[in-house]
């Protein structure tokens, strides 16, 4: 993942604050991929994810005045995207409630047991409350260090670690997993 | 099941995806067009002031030109009538066969067995008087928000309401809404509640606004919620001019708390002497859907039942509710107001891996829509027929 240097970042922030769209696009470019991954994982729909990321981008641009030039952009933007996903999902849940298509795995898995396990896990992820899903996505899918997970979630590192633990417990009570990486 | 970290990573990756180059290009093009205003409400307020000023001038000129007329009307009513607009296109009066134009979002209002209204994708409103076989084009009073959150509710071929619901603030702490009213089949509209920038008509500027539904020409309901409080069900008894709110109580085993531990509401439906609404939580206790009932027209609400599944039930009658299945979830039905549920045999075939929005006009005729797909049942949900939704190109 391409990361901008602090100085370059700071300059782009300054230019974007003045309304320079090119600078804002350049600033956001490196974090669009993880942002989209968060949205896709939480919403499970490409169109909805695009809507969420676009809306979050515009909100981020509006809020850029309060962003410190040397601060980390990624956790700040991911927090906005995650909030946008929550809003989108909550709105009109009676109209849109998506689940994965179990048939998507049929070509990949030959053993019945493995397929069953995968379907169980996917079903469990579908049923997992979104405030549990987000820490898992940040930590296990985006591979963010726990301190960045904490900044995205807006909490202390210890609390972030606890939230990952609680999400795992909610996902599968007997799962043998430890939150050790990056801790 | 011995799942490990690798398996979890695989499952999360399977749900994920990369942004397409086309999407990134479109996004950058949006940025190049310039930064959005930090807050559109002042601009809207200025626009409203200008519109009202013009309307006032118009009223004065009209009054002068009609000086011999003894009844000019109040300034407020004059302003409102001037704010109403003719449709952008003359609606066709003859039934129009519908064609195979793909659409992605349809909002349905079915006031009777024959009449159905459909808000399709954008600023296009359609009326059918033959159960969705053919459609006539109508228009909404203002361009929809584009967020797919706008609402329509009609009580017949003439009278209906359009709610323009725009961008919410963080955690649904605030959300603007405008409610427009028509009495001539969506040929002209009057703005009756303008909550663009503040409380209006008794509706708080706070909270996200949900479904709008009218039971008759006078009585209607508007659901509202945020992430931190009990949901509010607004009710009107004067055709939408003024509203009063009541909150839903906590269902058994659930306590509303700040930080996202709050219910989200679905559409309100008056069936018989009851008014019913479903609400959903997405919290540590796991997703659950509850049904609440009011027996006094929405003044007070009590918990009634829990729904089998996380989809919103469609209230066919007071006691019979159905949840259409999708994905691996079978359809479910209750015939005793949610006390017991059983798997429901229906030939409804999902068009998308998501729950359809289901609207019943009466105990037999209903419509289901998901991702632009539109299906109709004439036997209470047992059998479904695919309809082609009205196209955006019909003239």
Chain-chain contact of A94 with B19 (C-beta, under 8 angstroms)? no
The DSSP letter of residue A123 is H
Does pLDDT of A97 surpass 60? no
Contact B13 A104 (CB under 8 A): no
Contact assessment for residue B264 and residue B287, using Cβ atoms and an 8 Å cutoff: no
B325 touches chain A (CB under 8 A): no
A48/A38 Cα distance (integer angstroms): 12
How many angstroms separate the first and last alpha carbons of chain A? 22
Please name which of B99, B123, B118 lies closest in space to residue B107, comparing C-alpha atoms.
Answer: B118
Q: In b/e form, how buried is each residue of A60-99, taking b as 16+ CB within 10 angstroms?
A: bbeebeebeeeebbbbbbbbbbbbbbbbbbbbbbbbbbbb
What angle separates helix B5-15 from helix A21-43, to the nearest 10 degrees? 120
A42, A133 Cβ separation under 8 angstroms: yes
Q: Do A93 and B280 touch (CB under 8 A)?
A: yes
Write the DSSP assignment of B57-109 as a string of letters. HHHHHHHHHTTT-S----HHHHHHHHH----SSPPP-S-EE------S-EEEE
- Mutation for A interface: B327, B332, B357, most A CBs within 10 A: B327
Q: For residue A39, what is the enclosing H or E element?
A: helix A21-43
Between chains, do B7 and A91 touch, taking CB under 8 Å as contact?
no
pTM metric for this prediction: 0.61
Chain B residues close to A95, C-beta within 8 Å: 355, 357
Residues of chain B falling short of pLDDT 70 = 1-3, 36-105, 121-123, 144-149, 167-171, 259-260, 282-287, 309-310, 326-329, 350-355, 371-372, 389, 391-395
Q: Please, which residues 72-101 of chain A have a Cβ atom closer than 8 Å to chain B? A: 83, 86-87, 89-101
Specify the pLDDT at position B327.
Answer: 61
Closest partner residue to A172 (CB to CB) among B1, B15, B310 is: B1
- Burial code of B262-292, b = ≥16 C-beta within 10 A, e = fewer? bbbbbbbbbbeebbbbbbbbbbeeebbbbbb
Q: Which residue has the tokens 């379907």?
A: A119
For helices A73-90 and A46-63, angle between their N-to-C axes, nearest 10 degrees = 130
For residue B12, what is the enclosing H or E element?
A: helix B5-15
- Structure confidence at residue B183 (pLDDT): 96
Point out the residue among A25, A121, A129 whose CB comes nearest to the CB of B11.
A121
Tens of pLDDT, residue by residue over B233-251, are 999 999 999 999 999 999 9
Give the least confident one: A56-65, A84-93, A108-117. Answer: A108-117
Kindly indicate the confidence band of residue A6, based on its pLDDT and cuts at 50, 70 and 90: low
Please list, in sequence order, all residues whose beta carbon lies within 8 angstroms of the beta carbon of residue A115, skipping any fewer than 6 positions away.
Answer: A105, A106, A109
| Helix A46-63 vs helix A21-43: crossing angle, to nearest 10 | 140
Query: What angle in degrees, to the nearest 10, is found between the helix axes of B40-65 and B75-83?
Result: 110
Residue B114: Cβ-neighbour burial (10 angstroms; 0-12, 13-18, 19+): middle
Shortest CA distance from B266: residue in chain A: A94
Partners of residue B17 in chain A, C-beta under 8 Å:
36-37, 40, 46, 49
What residues in B contact A153, CB-CB < 8 Å? none
What pLDDT sits at residue B326?
67
Structure tokens at B371: 């991702």
- Tokens representing A69 are 């030039």
CA atoms B33, B39, B41, B47: torsion sign? negative
* CB–CB contact B310 A97 (8 Å): yes
The number of beta carbons lying within 10 Å of the beta carbon of residue B131 is 19
- The answer to whether B43 faces chain A, any CB pair under 8 Å, is no
In chain A, DSSP finds a helix count (H) and a strand count (E) of 8, 0
Give the integer Cα–Cα distance in Å for B222 and B163: 10
Segment B172-181, tens digit of pLDDT: 777 888 999 9
Q: Which of B305, B299, B303 is nearest to B233 (CA)?
A: B299
- Order across the sheet with B151-154: list the strands: B151-154, B160-165, B177-182, B190-195
Q: How many CB pairs under 8 A join A and B?
A: 192
Does residue B22 sit at the A interface (CB-CB below 8 Å)? no
Helix (H, G, I), strand (E, B), or coil: what is residue B377?
Answer: strand
Q: Which two tokens stand for residue A19?
A: 């309304």
Kindly report the nearest CA distance between residue B198 and chain A, in angstroms.
21
A44 closest CB neighbour out of B8, B15, B227: B15
Convert the pLDDT of each residue in A43-66 to its tens digit: 877 878 888 898 889 888 888 887
| Mean local confidence (pLDDT), A104-116 | 39
Confidence of residue A102 (pLDDT cuts 50, 70, 90): very low
By C-alpha distance, which of A79, A62, A70 is closest to A13? A70
Output the CA torsion sign for B11, B373, B123, B180. Answer: negative
Nearest CA in chain B to A175: B3
Confidence at residue B161, expressed as pLDDT on a 0 to 100 scale: 97
Task: Name which of A24, A87, A89 is nearest B31 (Cβ-Cβ).
Answer: A24
- Exposed, middle or buried, B106 (CB in 10 Å: 0-12/13-18/19+)? buried
Written as six digits, the tokens of B103 are: 């659409």
- Could you give the count of Cα atoms lying within 13 Å of B100 in the half-sphere of its Cβ? 1
CB contact under 8 A, A21 and B31: yes
In this predicted structure, what is the pLDDT of residue B258? Answer: 76
Q: List CB contacts (< 8 A) between B13 and chain A.
A: 141
Rounded to 5 degrees, φ, ψ at B249 are: -75, 170
Partners of residue A97 in chain B, C-beta under 8 Å: 310-311, 326, 354-355
pLDDT exceeds 80 at position A13: yes
Tokens of B253: 């085993």
What is the token pair recorded at B88? Answer: 């952008």
- What pLDDT does residue B78 have? 31
Q: Do B3 and A33 touch (CB under 8 A)?
A: no
Q: How far is B252 from chain A (nearest CA, A)?
A: 19
What whole-number distance in Å separates Cα of residue A105 and Cα of residue B151?
A: 37
Nearest to A170 among B28, B30, B284 (CB): B284
Q: What is the pLDDT of residue B315?
A: 93
- Measured between CA atoms, how close is A61 to chain B, in angstroms? 7
Contact yes or no for B327 and A99 at CB 8 A: yes
What the block records as the tokens of B59 is 């009223």
Which H helix or E strand runs over A10? helix A6-17
Rg of chain A in Å (alpha carbons): 18
For residue A130, the chain B residues in CB contact (below 8 A) are: 282
Residue B27 and residue A25: Cβ atoms within 8 Å? yes
- In angstroms, the CA A77 to CA A53 distance is 10
């Amino acid at each position: 993942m391409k990361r901008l240097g602090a100085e370059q970042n700071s300059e782009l922030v300054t230019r974007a604050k003045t309304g320079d769209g090119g600078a804002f696009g350049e600033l956001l470019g490196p974090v669009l991929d993880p942002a989209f991954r968060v949205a896709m994982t939480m919403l499970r729909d490409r169109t909805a994810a695009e809507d969420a990321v676009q809306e979050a981008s515009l909100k981020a641009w509006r809020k850029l005045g309060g962003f410190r030039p040397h601060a980390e952009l990624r956790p700040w933007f991911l927090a906005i995207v995650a909030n946008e996903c929550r809003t989108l999902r909550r709105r009109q849940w009676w109209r849109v409630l998506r689940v994965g298509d179990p048939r998507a795995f049929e070509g990949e898995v030959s053993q019945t047991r493995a397929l069953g396990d995968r379907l169980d896990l996917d079903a469990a992820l579908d049923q997992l409350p979104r405030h549990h899903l987000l820490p898992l996505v940040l930590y296990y899918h985006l591979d963010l260090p726990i301190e960045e997970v904490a900044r995205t979630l807006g909490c202390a590192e210890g609390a972030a670690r606890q939230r990952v633990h609680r999400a795992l417990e909610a996902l599968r009570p007997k799962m043998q997993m430890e939150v050790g990486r990056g801790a | 099941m011995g799942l490990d970290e690798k398996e979890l990573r695989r499952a999360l990756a399977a749900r994920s995806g990369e942004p397409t180059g086309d999407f990134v290009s479109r996004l950058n093009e949006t940025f190049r067009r310039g930064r959005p205003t930090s807050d559109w409400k002042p601009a809207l307020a200025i626009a409203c002031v200008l519109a009202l000023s013009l309307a006032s001038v118009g009223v004065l000129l009209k009054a002068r030109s009609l000086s011999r007329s003894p009844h000019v009307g109040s300034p407020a009513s004059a302003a409102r009538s001037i704010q109403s607009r003719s449709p952008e296109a003359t609606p066709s009066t003859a039934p129009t066969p519908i064609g195979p134009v793909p659409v992605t979002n349809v909002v349905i209002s079915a006031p009777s067995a024959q009449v159905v209204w459909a808000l399709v994708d954008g600023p296009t409103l359609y009326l059918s008087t033959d159960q969705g076989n053919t459609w006539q084009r109508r228009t909404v009073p203002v361009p929809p928000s584009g967020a797919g959150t706008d609402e329509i509710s009609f009580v017949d071929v003439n009278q209906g309401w359009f709610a323009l619901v725009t961008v919410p603030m963080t955690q649904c702490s605030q959300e603007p809404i405008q409610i427009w009213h028509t009495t001539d089949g969506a040929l002209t509209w009057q703005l009756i509640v303008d909550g663009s920038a503040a409380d209006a008509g008794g509706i708080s500027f706070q909270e996200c606004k949900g479904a709008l539904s009218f039971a008759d020409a006078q009585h209607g309901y508007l659901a509202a919620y945020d992430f931190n409080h009990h949901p509010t069900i607004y009710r009107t008894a004067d055709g939408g001019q003024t509203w009063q709110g009541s909150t839903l109580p906590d269902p058994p085993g659930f306590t509303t708390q700040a930080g996202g531990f709050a219910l989200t509401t679905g559409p309100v439906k008056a069936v018989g002497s009851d008014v019913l609404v479903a609400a959903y939580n997405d919290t540590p206790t796991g997703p659950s859907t509850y049904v609440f009932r009011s027996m006094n027209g929405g003044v007070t609400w009590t918990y009634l039942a829990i729904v089998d599944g996380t989809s919103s039930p469609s209230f066919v009658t007071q006691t019979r509710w159905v949840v259409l299945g999708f994905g691996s979830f079978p359809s479910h039905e209750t015939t005793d107001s949610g006390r017991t549920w059983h798997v429901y045999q229906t030939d409804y075939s999902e068009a998308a891996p998501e729950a359809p929005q289901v609207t019943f006009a009466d105990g037999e005729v209903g419509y289901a829509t998901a991702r632009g797909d539109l299906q109709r049942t004439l036997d209470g949900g047992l059998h479904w027929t695919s309809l082609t939704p009205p196209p955006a190109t019909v003239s």
